[in-house]
Amino acid sequence: MNTFGSIGCLVTRAAFNFGKVDIVTINGPSIDLNCMVCMFQYDSTYGKFKGRVKAKNVTLIISVGAKKVIISAPSADAPMFVMDVVHEKYDNSLKIVSNASCTANCLAPLTKVILDNFGIMEGLMTTVHVITATQQTVDGPPGKLWCDGQGVAQNIIPASTGAAKTVGKDSPELNGKLTSMAFHVPTLNVSIVDLACPLEKDANTVTSRKW
C-alpha cells in the first residue's frame, strides 16, 4: 500500500474484511508507526475497525518494487477499468492499471445500463460530492480558482470532474457525448451522481423499472 492516508487506510480495511487480498507492505515513511495504528483503528467517518491492530517487531523493509500497481484515481496513460463495465477486458500481463475515480465508478455502470438498453444521444452528469482533503477548512488564499479559497463548512463549491471523459474511454460510443460538473458540499460521507440524457429509444415506466 503506497501512502497511508484516508484512502490507504480504508482500502487496507477493505482488504482485511474481504479476506482474499494480502497487504504485505505499507509505505508511509512520514507517519509514525503508532500513529498509523491509531489511524487504522479509528476513523472519524467510518468508525472503529472491528479487529485488533498493534505495532510489533518494527523493522526496515526494502522492497525491489511491486509486481502489480492499481491506481485509485484516473490515469493519463495507464489502462482504466471499471467493474461491471469493462473489467472483462483486463489482461493479467498488465503491470499498472487504474480503477478510475469514485465518480466514474458511479457514472460508468449507470450509463452502461442505459446505453445497452435504450441508447444515449448525449448527457449531462452532475455530482454532488463530499468535501476533500485539498479544500480549505476556513477561508484562505485560493489556488487557481477564487472559489477554492472558501471554507468547506459554509459553502457549496463548484469543481471540475473528469468522470465524463473517463466514461468515454471505457465506452467509446459515449466519447464526446457526455458533459460533467461537480459541486462539493459540507458533508463528510456519501456523494450522489445525477445523469440527464435524451434516449435513442423510447422508454416508458414499465420498461425502465426492469433495469
Q: What is the set of active-site residues?
A: 102
Pairing status of strand 192-196 against strand 157-159: unpaired
Q: What is the DSSP letter of 158?
A: E
Q: Strand, coil or helix: what is 195?
A: strand
8 Å CB contact between 187 and 132: no
Q: What are phi and psi of 161, to 5 degrees?
A: -145, 140
Q: Tell me, what amino acid is at 70?
A: I
- Cβ(80)–Cβ(70) under 8 Å? no
Take residue 153 and report the three cell numbers written for it.
463548512
Composition of the chain by helix, strand, coil, percent to 5: 30, 20, 55
Distances (CA, A) of 17 to 50, 53, 80, 130, 178: 9, 14, 25, 24, 36
